Amino acid sequence: MYESFLYHPDRGLKTDLSAKEITEALADARSLVWIDFPDLDDADVDFLTSAFNLHPLTIEDFIMPNARPKIEKFKDYLFLIMFSLEPMNANGAGRVKTAELDCCLGKNFLITFHSSPLDTIAICKERLKRQSPIMMNGADMLLYAVLDSCVDSYFPIIQKFDSFVDEMSDELFKSATQDTLKKIYLLKNDIMYLRRTVGPQADIVSSVARGDFELISPSNVIYFRNIFDNLVRLNDIIGTSRDVITGAMETYVSLVSNRLNEVMKTLTVITTIMMPLTLIASIYGMNFKHMPELEHRMGYPGVIATMLIITSLMLYYFKRRRWL
C-alpha cells in the first residue's frame, strides 16, 4: 500500500489520495504528486503503468534489486537508483549495509520505492506533515529534499565507521592478534563496498548538477551541486579510511614478521649456547674406562664451572654484538 501526498497552490497539502484523485492531479500542471511505495503488488504495477506511463524496464528495476546506482532518461520522466546507509551495529566491522531507493521524477510528480523502511523518507514525510514548503517549489526540489536527506544519512555512519578504523589502528600497535587481522579484513570489505556505492552516486548527482536534464530547473541545479559536494567529501573520508586500512594490513604483516624474527633470534641464541654445553656433556657421557676426569674429585664441579663460564662468555659476546 502506497502513501501519497498532493500539493496545489490553491488548496494546499492533501494526503492519502485515491487512485482517481492522483490521476486527476496529474492532469493539472499546477499540482504536484508524491507517491511512496514500501512494496509493490500487481495492482500497484498496473496503476503505475496506466497512470504514469512508466516503461516496463522501470517497473522491472522497481521489482528487482539493483547492485549499483544509475540514472536513466525516459520520454516523460527521469529514473534514478540511489542508496541510503543503514545504521551500524555496536561492533562496527562487517556491518555496513545499504538500502536501495528508486526515484521517478516527472514534471509534476515524484515516485519513490524502497523495499525496506528508510529513515530518510520518513524524515521528509514528517517535514511535509509539519507544513514544510519542500513541495511548493516543484518536483525537482522535492527530489532534492529526498536525495539530500539520503546523503545526509551517510555522515554519522561513515564518521562512526571512521572511528572504528582509528580504534583498530590503536589496537594494532598495542596487542595485535588474529582477531585484529579479522577486523582489518572486515573493515577492508566494508570500505570497498562503500566506495563502490558512494563513487557512482557522486557521478550521477554530478550529471544532474550540470543541468543535463530538462526536468531539473536551471535555478535549482545549484542545490544538487550541494549534494555532489557532500558526496565528494564522503568519498574523501572513505578514501582516507581505505589508505589507513591498507597501511594497517601492511603494518600487521610487518609486526608478525618482526615478532617471528625475535622468537627465532631467541631460539637461535639458546641453541647456540647449548651446543658447547651439549658437546661437553656428550664427551663425558661416553663412559670410556680410561677417562681421568671421571675419577677426579673435582671433575664434576670443574665441568659445571666450565659450562657456566662458557655460557657467561657467550652471553657477553652476544650482548656486545647487540644480538640480544
Looking at the domain 3-255, which fold is it? Answer: Beta Polymerase; domain 2 (3.30.460)
Among 5-14, 99-108, 296-305, the range with the most confident prediction by mean pLDDT is 99-108
pLDDT(294) > 80: no
Cα 168 from chain centroid?
A: 15
The tens digit of pLDDT for each residue in 53-88 reads 888 899 988 888 887 888 999 988 999 999 888 765
Q: What number is the average pLDDT over the span 112-118?
A: 87
pTM: 0.75
Rounded Cα distance between 196 and 264, Å, is: 43
Cell of residue 233, nine digits: 567529501
Residue 241: C-alpha distances to residues 185, 229, 268 (Å): 13, 19, 40
> What is the pLDDT at residue 248?
80
Same fold, 3-255 and 256-320: no
Count of other CB atoms within 10 angstroms of residue 5:
21
Domain made up of 256-320: CATH architecture? Up-down Bundle (1.20)
The tens digit of pLDDT for each residue in 152-183 reads 888 888 887 777 777 777 777 777 777 777 77
pLDDT(296) > 70: yes
Domain ranges for the chain: 3-255, 256-320
> What is the pLDDT at residue 95?
62
Q: Is 318 exposed, middle or buried (0-12, 13-18, 19+ CB in 10 A)?
A: middle
CA 244, 249, 250, 254 torsion-angle sign: positive
Count of other CB atoms within 10 angstroms of residue 130:
7
